[in-house]
Structure 1
Amino acid sequence: MNQIFKTSVDYVRGVGTTRAEMLKKELGIFTFEDLLRHFPFKYIDRTKFYKIRDINEDLPHVQVIARLTQKELVGDKRTKRLVARVQDDTGTMELAWFQGIKWAEKNLIVGKAYIIFGKPGSFNGKAQMAHPEIEPYSAEALQRKGNLTLQPVYSSTEKLKSFSLDSKGIQKLTAILLEQHGKDIEENLPQYILQKFKLMGRSDAYRSAHFPEDATALHEAQYRLKFEELFNIQLKLLKNKLLRTQKYRGNVFEKVGHYFTGFYEDKLPFALTNAQKKVLKEIRLDTQRGVQMNRLLQGDVGSGKTVVALMTVLMAIDNGFQACLMAPTEILATQHYHSIKGLVGDDFIELALLTGSTKQKARRPIHEKLEDGTLQLLIGTHALLEDKVQFKNLGLAVIDEQHRFGVEQRSKLWRKNALPPHVLVMTATPIPRTLAMTLYGDLDVSVINELPAGRKPIETVHFYENQRLRMFGLMKQEIAKGRQIYVVYPLIKESEKLDLKNLEDGIETMSREFPLPDYRISVVHGKLAAAEKEAEMQRFVRGETHIMVATTVIEVGVNVPNASVMIIENSERFGLSQLHQLRGRVGRGAEQSYCILMSGHKLSREGRIRLDTMVATNDGFKISEIDLELRGPGDIEGTQQSGVLDLKMANLATDQELLMTVRHQVEEIFEKDPQLAHPENQILHQMLQTKSGGLSWDKIS
């Protein structure tokens, strides 16, 4: 939007400093543009009028024309209210005011007809409406209602309402702003795009999104603004992708040699799935093109992403390059180190682990071997980003669970080599296709969508509290077979006391049901020191305890193949993606595994959908689609850090088809005009210039 819309909201007529501060604090409305993009969340049809006899309290809002027949003040000083009675040709209704009594008493005149609008209710069996909107009936008023077919309703807060900034107050400010500056809203899409997709002009779209003449105008305005939002994101992402292939050369992995072939033929303990082979082929082609690879590898828990990452590392080593693998936590980094060490053996490649806990004495040889090139693979945490960590020839960076790293952190890795290393980003959090195209639209995406042979699907059941004895029975059966069990309680930051109480009660119950010496229990919770937590985890990993009871969510990547049961207490308090990640901690061996979702009988609609979804499917991608529909993109793990999503109108759960249309259109534009140099694309070129800001997005995945 043009420069005037960057003006502070203070300068909208009728706002001023105090109300501006409240808008900024409560709704994040700082500028003219923010106010214009605070769209209504619903619309009320003000052309329809009800008769009093047809009103019932299930209706969301009603509008009637009725005559005021009586009004009186009732109650004492503490409970004072104004009660009025209105009547039409079908019946009578009571109106009540508990606030604004002076205004109503002064302005409402017995005998006059009024247009009355509000939420219907009942009191003592009679129709009633509290705090209705009310204005004198006249032909002009009726005409005005007809002109405003759909009345916008805006989200507000209790604090804002005390400054007269309820929905009606925000509506008034938006109307003033459009009246003052509606004509200044400049078009930002080329004419040929508007014509091809029959899009409403931008200024008209903003006006109709707030004050639509009818349902058709509203639909056209919303479609135009959704198109614009998705188009802007795809334009930026695909331009970044194009820039990277044009500007940033990449190291060429010319051959597959001794390391890759030796591992594949002699050390790989199982056959690769077709999905793994397909991904390796894509990576092989990427690394031969002479441009920097930026590939996102999506795979459900246990699908074999680590083996693909290792084989990509071996490609780099075969071509004389070093590689690094960065994970967000020490537990996960250590797990990767032991897992890869177990696959390659002791003397196949030179690898090391570097985390915050690595002692200074151990760091020195790591730094030296990195700099002289003898250390081929470094696995670690944020410690890899330290300035002291210098590679001789870094050719590949593998990043696990990248949404946990900030943009600036990741970019530090790229600067550790003259040519930026190839980048392979891994995530075990399945991302819906539309979200992946929006968050990671400048990366190439690979998906591992099949599990290794021999893995049995995890059996998931939902038990209510009164089925706890069945749960204990299953636990005892599995322990008798030599298996281990996780019991996880939710962690809610606002309620640590409650969580600890739940955990303490849980441990007491488990200790009673599974007494020593026949059974041993590990306990992990947020109050434990890191060393104690690690010691308890390791006891479980080594098989010294049968049951692990935890409040902290078991880390992504913790791998205990012998654990066959995941019990999730108060499962209705977890999100879908969390439930799926927790379930993925079992089912890592060849034996049948189980996930038991425990809950109370009272479940919200969303809670029931989440639990039913978990029971119905093990497919992380299906689960992620339902999660997106339930929660929206802003709440899905990692999206808040992306710096990409600012969707006020488009919805990635429901606008998938539109996103695909927009993506194809932007691809077509860049195919024909990569530099956006054609006259008809100048508007897009200018838009990218103003949006690029100070951060070099084209260098960062």
Structure 2
Amino acid sequence: MTSSDANVPRPAQPYLDLELDLSRLVGTTTGKQVAKGLEITTVGQMLHQFPRRYVERGDLTDLDQLQVDEDVTILARVVDLRTRYMQTRKGTISDVIITDNSGRPSTLVISFFNGFKAKQELQPGVLAMFSGKVGTYGGNKVLTNPGYLLLPDDEMAELEVEIHASKPVPVYPATAKFPSWKTQHVIDVLLPVLDLNKIPDPVPAGIAKREKLMALAEAYEEIHQPTSMEAWPRARKRFCFQEALALQTALAQKRLEAMNQDATGRALVQGGLLDAFDAQLPYTLTAGQEEIGGLISSEIGAGHPMHRLLQGEVGSGKTVIALRAMLQVIDAGGQAAFLAPTEVLAAQHLHSITNLLGSLGAGSLLGGQHATQVTLLTGSMPAAAKKKALLAAASGEAGIVIGTHALLSDNVQFADLGLIVVDEQHRFGVEQRDSLRAKALKPPHLLVMTATPIPRTVAMTVFGDLEVSELTELPSGRAPIVTHISPLAEHPSWESRVWERTREEIDSGHQVYVVCPKIGDVVSTGSTSDSLFGSEQVIEPLEIQGGDTRPMAGVLDVVQYLRTVPALAGKRIEVLHGRLDSVDKQGTMAAFARGEIDVLVSTTVIEVGVDVHNATLMVILDADRFGISQLHQLRGRVGRGGHNGTCLLVTNLEKGHPSRKRLDAVAATADGFVLAKQDLEMRREGDILGARQSGGASGLRMLSVLRDEDLIERARQDATEIVAADPELKFHPALKLEIDMYLTEKNEAFLERG
């Protein structure tokens, strides 16, 4: 043994009890219930099923903060109970009215169908925890047939119960079949039989001291069974930092691994295609384009693969940056693949790139120094055209190959693939990206682009193995987009004004998008409604507990309706949606781009990449059905030709509905990064990160990318220093063990999103 070997710590010994099947310690019946309800099967997974929040016995849940469609566990007091017979079926409905004692008139109706037990137990004055999914009925939030647990709070309760009642009540992630208190019961059985001191601490002692972290064993106790409301925040901080350090260390290892890979450097070539392209550009690059372009150029010229995420607003000039990078690679003898998520978007990129190149895109690598061939490859192309494109890619004749998932096929080959550009990365999986990279002789350079703004901490956490660049300024010629809400619930007459406004835009020589949340079905001939939005059907609460059942505007119905609207008489109105044949889709977009269509009624197929400079108005129907980032993306389709753009967000929701907050946010600002942060605040982070929305095993245990921003930055710095000094973590065996345990199949996707 060498002296250096003697200094290497022995591998950390895992606490093997954490790997046991949960049934071994809590019983077969309970183990099966947990597996079915939470998808948890081991002791370690259960131990790390941390509470979402805590409440004191006097802290009743703020009912105003409940979100529709959210699985919730709430602590509330019953104020009334009414039982009535159902009109459409046999049996009774017991409506339990609960309050949060906030001083506001905040109540919630909980409906139990044939709830004989609930009718007996949930009398006025009773304190209970309720667990279920928030729905709506008659414009009000409701719970239907939730699980519930009675909580004793009278003076005659047993001493043990009173002592327990003085402690904070943990509220765990819940599912429909496994409410919070069932998780608490399992944890209460589990903790006494575990020796928590045997779990190795993954946080180096010096860092734990600097962060003033609670001891690990104590933290497990206080996170699950807090002794006071002051104790659990310290336990939460310990596990947040521990999780951030494990995640950031794994990402730092991936960055180091990428740095050590061999790649073909594609250094700048003087007097080549790139110089010719820059010389003919009709406008000056922005300072941001110059800076990021120079950075990418130097990374492409290096001997290890570039891994960079480029994000910027719609129209900020990302395509020009990508094209300049592709031309640098072509000048150096390589090829570039441009991967787009849809055929419509691929065709749009072909159009915009060939327009930017002009005569420089009219040749081939074999045909001249100052020309290259740009080829399109999609799944629906005719066999002859596809064969020609495949040959151009394999021979090297095509310098740029633009395509959809068809690029990933086994029969697609490249002569020398040097750069991959991925547009709208979130639409592609890990396997798809890797299958394209495998077509290169050496690891290719990778440029990922997105117009969906990503908050900095999300990028740091989810795309942590990529270097991130942001384009924050818009090129000259981009006009501002004004966004207004059209609330038809308050102003039904505004619907006709929307179509009059559409006519005015057309009469001014411009074009209009009308966006719908679904394709829909054509209404039968002669049954055209007097209004675009049909009357809502009154239904029993039981039918709505699974989510929103309001009718949605569909493309096929809307286009037929618009052809009957007097304000649009004689105007050219066409449809675009995903069910159309690929040739029809491309033909429709081309006709719209040529100005041969006045109103294009579409689904979100036009969300990204579609570039029609004469389109100045977008009407989004049932806008409350879309997320903030999607609304922001959609409205970026107008105002692209120097003309002012307008977006109308049409909604039938009443003022004060939670979903109206999203519309208010979009109407209030055009800054995508501000909206991305607000989106993160309004939604569960699982939605943003791609994790599960509730219950079960999710991507992040305790970490909040919004709340824990400073902590994540410190952990990232620590992780970078640890990996730089100890790449294989030989001197940090407990941290290595934590990473191995943490990177389950579900959350390893965080490390592969780039």
Structure 1 pair 62/496, CA: closer, same or farther in 2 (3 Å)? closer
- Flag the 1:336–1:583 CA change in 2: closer, same or farther, 3 A: same
Q: What does 1:126-145 correspond to in 2, within 5 Å?
A: 132-134=150-152, 141=159, 145=163
Contact 2:174 2:180 in 1 (8 A): yes
Letter of the structure 2 residue corresponding to residue 666 of structure 1: A
Match of 1:310 in 2: 323
2:307 is matched by which residue type in structure 1?
N
Q: Indicate if the aligned counterparts of 1:309 and 1:398 stay in contact, CA closer than 8 A.
A: yes
1:181 corresponds to: 194
Structure of larger gyration radius: 1
Which of 559, 573, 584 is the equivalent residue of 2:611? Answer: 559
How far the C-alpha of 1:139 sits from its partner, in A, is 9.2
Shift of 1:632: 2.6
User: Which structure is higher in helix share?
Assistant: 1
Higher relative contact order (CA 8 A, sep 6+): 2
Tell me how far apart the structure 2 counterparts of residues 523 and 697 of structure 1 sit (CA, whole Å): 37
Output the amino acid matched with 2:439: K
Q: Which residue of 2 aligns with 1:384?
A: 407
User: Are the equivalent residues in 2 in contact too, given 1:632–1:653 (CA < 8 A)?
Assistant: no
CA distance 1:210–1:693, shift in 2 (3 Å):
closer
1:622 aligns with 2:666: no
Displacement of 1:152 after TM fit?
1.8
Question: Given the superposition, is the C-alpha separation of residues 380 and 638 from structure 1 closer, same or farther in structure 2, using an over 3 Å criterion?
Answer: farther
1:376 to 1:11, Cα distance in 2 relative to 1, 3 A: same
Q: Shift of residue 221 of structure 1?
A: 0.5
State the Cα distance separating 1:100 from its structure 2 match: 5.7
**Quick one: structure 1 residues 312 and 639, their matched pair in 2 at CA, closer, same or farther if it must change by over 3 Å?**
farther
1:290-311 deviation line (CA, Å, top 9, x unaligned): 1110011101111111111100
Give 1:657's aligned amino acid.
D
Q: Aligned match of 1:23 in 26, 34, 37?
A: 34
> In the TM superposition, what are the counterparts of 1:283-432 in structure 2 within 5 Å?
283-345=296-358, 346-347=362-363, 348-432=371-455
Q: Quick check: 2:519–2:554 contact (8 Å CA) kept in 1?
A: no
Task: Give the direction of change, closer, same or farther, for the CA distance of 1:158–1:397 in structure 2 (3 Å limit).
Answer: closer
Do residues 457 (structure 1) and 468 (structure 2) align? no
**C-alpha separation between the residues in 1 aligned to 2:626 and 2:262?**
42
Q: CA deviation at 1:229?
A: 1.6
User: Could you tell me how far apart the structure 1 residues matched to 2:666 and 2:115 are?
Assistant: 47
Judging changes above 3 Å, is the alpha-carbon distance between structure 1 residues 135 and 584 closer, same or farther for their aligned structure 2 residues? closer
CA offsets 1:92-112 (integer angstroms, 9 cap, x no match): xxxxx97669999xxxxxxxx
Task: Report the residue type matching 2:340 in the other structure.
Answer: A
Between the aligned partners of 1:232 and 1:655, the Cα distance in structure 2 is: 15
Summarize the Cα distance change of 1:698–1:479 in structure 2 as closer, same or farther, 3 Å threshold. Answer: closer
Residues 509 and 344 (structure 1 numbering): CA distance in 2 closer, same or farther, change over 3 Å? closer
Report the counterpart of residue 214 of structure 1 in structure 2: 228
By how many angstroms is 1:6 displaced? 3.2
In structure 2, the partner of 1:472 is 499
Provide the rounded CA distance (Å) in 2 between the counterparts of 1:592 and 1:439.
Answer: 36
Q: Describe the shift of the 1:406–1:168 C-alpha distance in structure 2 as closer, same or farther (beyond 3 A).
A: closer
Mapped partners of 1:143, 1:464: distance in 2: 51
Tell me which amino acid in the other structure corresponds to 2:23: D
Q: Distance in 1 between matches of 2:180 and 2:550?
A: 38
Between the aligned residues of both structures, percent identity stands at 37
Please tell me the residue identity of whatever aligns with 1:27: L
Distance 2:263 2:185 in 1: 54
Q: 1:5 deviation in Å?
A: 2.2
* Equivalent position SS for 1:376: strand
Residues 1:154 and 2:172 aligned together: yes
**CA pair 427-21 structure 1, distance change in 2 beyond 3 A:** same
Q: Structure 1 CA distance, aligned partners of 2:339 and 2:193?
A: 52
Report the CA distance shift for 1:352/1:61 in structure 2 as closer, same or farther (over 3 A).
closer
Q: Normalising by structure 1, what TM-score?
A: 0.82
Given that 2:268 and 2:331 are in contact with CA atoms closer than 8 Å, whether structure 1 keeps it comes out as no
**Residue in 2 aligned with 1:682?**
733
Query: Contact (CA 8 Å) 1:46, 1:146: kept in 2 or not?
Result: no
Residues 392 and 691 of structure 1: CA distance in aligned 2, closer, same or farther (over 3 Å): farther
Shifted more, 437-446 versus 1-10: the winner is: 1-10
Change (3 A) 1:658 1:578: same
In 2, distance between residues paired with 1:653 and 1:697? 16
DSSP-derived class of the 1:12 partner: helix
Q: Are the aligned partners of 1:483 and 1:563 in contact in 2 as well (CA < 8 Å)?
A: yes
C-alpha distance in 1 between matches for 2:128 and 2:261: 61
DSSP 3-state at the match of 2:711: helix
Give 1:54's aligned residue.
none
Q: CA deviation at 1:269?
A: 2.3
1:504 aligns with 2:551: no
Does 1:489 find its partner at 2:541?
Answer: no
Query: In 2, distance between residues paired with 1:342 and 1:279?
Result: 23
Gap change, CA 1:103 and 1:135, over 3 Å in 2: farther
Structure 1's 6 and 250: CA in aligned 2 closer, same or farther, altered over 3 A? farther
Alignment of structure 1 residues 67-216 onto 2, 5 Å: 117-118=127-128, 132-134=150-152, 141=159, 145=163, 149-160=167-178, 166-183=179-196, 184-216=198-230
Instruction: Go from structure 1 to structure 2 and tell me whether the alpha carbon gap of 1:223 and 1:495 turns closer, same or farther (over 3 Å shift).
Output: closer
| Runs of 5+ unmatched residues, structure 1 | 50-58, 64-74, 82-96, 105-114, 121-129, 161-165
Indicate how the Cα distance of structure 1 residues 622 and 340 shifts in structure 2: closer, same or farther if over 3 A, else same.
same
Which residues of structure 2 form unaligned runs of 5+? 1-13, 61-73, 79-84, 86-90, 95-113, 131-147, 364-370, 521-546
Name which of 232, 257, 268 aligns with 1:243.
257
Match of 1:665 among 718, 742, 746: 718
The size of the alignment, in residue pairs, is 635
1:553 Cα deviation after fit: 4.5
- 2: distance between equivalents of 1:645 and 1:234? 17
Deviates more, 1:169-178 or 1:147-156: 147-156
The residue correspondences of 1:222-301 to structure 2 (distance < 5 A) are 222-266=236-280, 268-301=281-314
Shift of 1:688: 4.3
**Deviation by residue 1:316-350 (Cα, 9 ceiling, x = unmatched):** 01111111111111111111111111111224212
Of 249-258 and 594-603, deviating more is 249-258
Deviation at 1:185?
3.3
Distance 1:698 1:62 in 2: 44
Distance apart, 1:119 and its partner CA? 7.3
Equivalents in 2 of 1:562, 1:479: separation in Å?
10
Separation in structure 2 between the aligned mates of residue 185 and residue 99 of structure 1, nearest angstrom: 47
Q: Return the letter of the residue paired with 1:141.
A: L
**Conserved in 1, the CA contact under 8 Å of 2:512 and 2:600?**
yes
1:37-56 matches, within 5 Å, as 37-46=48-57
